[in-house]
Amino acid sequence: MTTSRGRHYTGLQQIAIIANSGLTLRRTCNAIARTIAKALDMNGCRVLLLDGKKEYLTTLGAYGLSDLYLRKGPLDARKSLPEALKGNITVVTNAPTDERVQHQEVAESQNVLFIAATPIVPGDNTIGQLRVYSKETRTLSDAEEDFLKASAHLCALVLDRAKLVQFKDQIQKAGMGARASALSQIAPRQLQPTEFAHESEAEFANLLDFYKIEWLYEPRSFPLAWNGSGISQMFTPDFYLPELDMYVELTTMKQSLITHKNRKVRRLREQYPGINIRLLTKNDFMKLLSKYGYGPLGESKVEGVGRVLYSQTQIQRRVRALSRKISHDYAGEKLVLIGVLKGVLCFMSDLMQHISVPVNVDYMDISQYSGAGEVVKITRDLDSPIVGRHVLMVEDIVDTGMTLNYLMSHLAAHKPASLRVCSLLDRPARRLVNAKLDYVGFEIPDEFVVGYGLDYLGEYRNLPFIGILKRELGGRRTNAHQES
């Protein structure tokens, strides 16, 4: 047995031992990457996982690569060695000049010349890639290719087992135990191997999962300051949302202590003007959770309405103005109004009374976020088809935009002739997903509002005005929420 084959045999033994060691997924993949790099005499190795839509590759584990190289930016599976996802080993002999390498300039700065990639395929589904790197131009022998393929098969088993473990945890968190009936109620999600630095990041990821918004955790580091030829300061946002092309940075520090984080975000925007980033402070995050009844704001006692924000007269005047505008825009057409139960009932009822064009009305309902690991779903769909119809989505309030984003995608799939949005209230301070609102009644401050269909624990819907809820911390947990 040659020395190289001996290293390969020993390497596969070590990978098998690591895979059965009980380490966390990230530590397992880091150890596997180190073993593979050593066995092939490479400078580095990386285990990459495809996201749910098979558009981006996320690092699960790595060895021997600089932080700058690992965090150079999200890897687009369609641009970064795409051939490797089709079943074959792909070899790059000069990374800084090869068009199949997505970030050629970073490869050049980090002296990466050689890359070899092979797919990770459990069963018939490609779920990621295994890549090795060298600072020297070289080739892969047949024995090395066989070792790389065998290592990828072992990685596939590791990831498949991790997914089953997460599915089991998901069922247990939902309080269903291991009963067979739970399998029909909860679908296994895309593997999320992330080890979050703070529980708030995990909660935010769960919320994104519920609304089926793809996310990557800490996929890119941005150099902000240099010391000679080296980088002296970098900034790594917590999340990247590919569909929205937006970075999100969470900070749960006290408001008085976030000056440094604000400075970094401001410098990032100045140096990278094309980057879209949103900073969520502790207060922002608590308000976001409170709409679902979580956190100290969601556990507060209600002392009644603090003050009236819009009177009955103001609301009715604005509703009539919106109706006139809608009637003008849809003159000569038939219109379908669609609302989401239950908060929109008052607004929808008044709005349609003043619209002068022919109107059909339909309602939908969706599941609410509970933190139990489920995903959003339509619990009541449309009664009538909307193919080729002019549709106006009517909302009581839009804040984060995540619910509206999901609903608009669902309705657009029905191929209406047109699809617009009318919302009585717009709360842009909480916006995460940009949503185009064609008709808006009032833009409101970042306050919890009730009345005119909007509720707290099912109460206050019947108020003829819209008021700001007065709340006191220290009460019991609630299920209060408002639509987004």
Positions marked catalytic: 399
Which pair of structure tokens corresponds to residue 200?
Answer: 């708030």
Residue 379 gets the label, from left (phi > 0), alpha (psi -120 to 50) or beta, of alpha
| Ramachandran class of 380: left when φ > 0, alpha when ψ lies in -120 to 50, beta otherwise | beta
Helix segments in 293-418, DSSP class H: 295-298, 312-329, 345-354, 402-412
Rounded CA gap, 262 and 284, in Å? 14
The candidate with the shortest Cα–Cα distance to 298, out of 208, 368, 380, is: 368
Could you check whether the bond before residue 342 is cis, i.e. omega within 30 degrees of 0?
Answer: yes
Q: In this structure, which amino acid lies at residue 338?
A: I
- State the number of CA atoms in the 13 A half-sphere of 319 facing the CB: 23
How far is the C-alpha of 442 from the C-alpha of 467, rounded, in Å? 13
> Which helix (H) or strand (E) element contains residue 148?
helix 142-173
Per the CB < 8 A criterion, the answer to whether 466 and 455 are in contact is: no
Residue 284 parent element (H or E): helix 282-290
DSSP code per residue over 189-257: PPP-----SSHHHHHHHHHHHHTT---EES-B-EEEEEETTEEEEEE--SEEETTTTEEEEE--S-GGG
C-alpha distance from residue 82 to each of 75, 79, 117, 147, 375 (Å): 10, 6, 10, 21, 30
Structure-block tokens of residue 147: 């070792």
Q: Which residues are CB-contacts of 46 (< 8 A; sequence separation ≥ 6)?
A: 33, 59, 61, 62, 63, 65, 70, 130, 131, 133
C-alpha neighbours within 13 Å on the C-beta side of residue 228: 1
Residue 52 sits at the vertex; the CA angle it makes with 190 and 153, to the nearest 5 degrees, is 70
| CA gap 145, 132 in Å, rounded | 11
Burial 150-164 (b: 16+ CB within 10 A, else e): ebbebbbebbbebbe
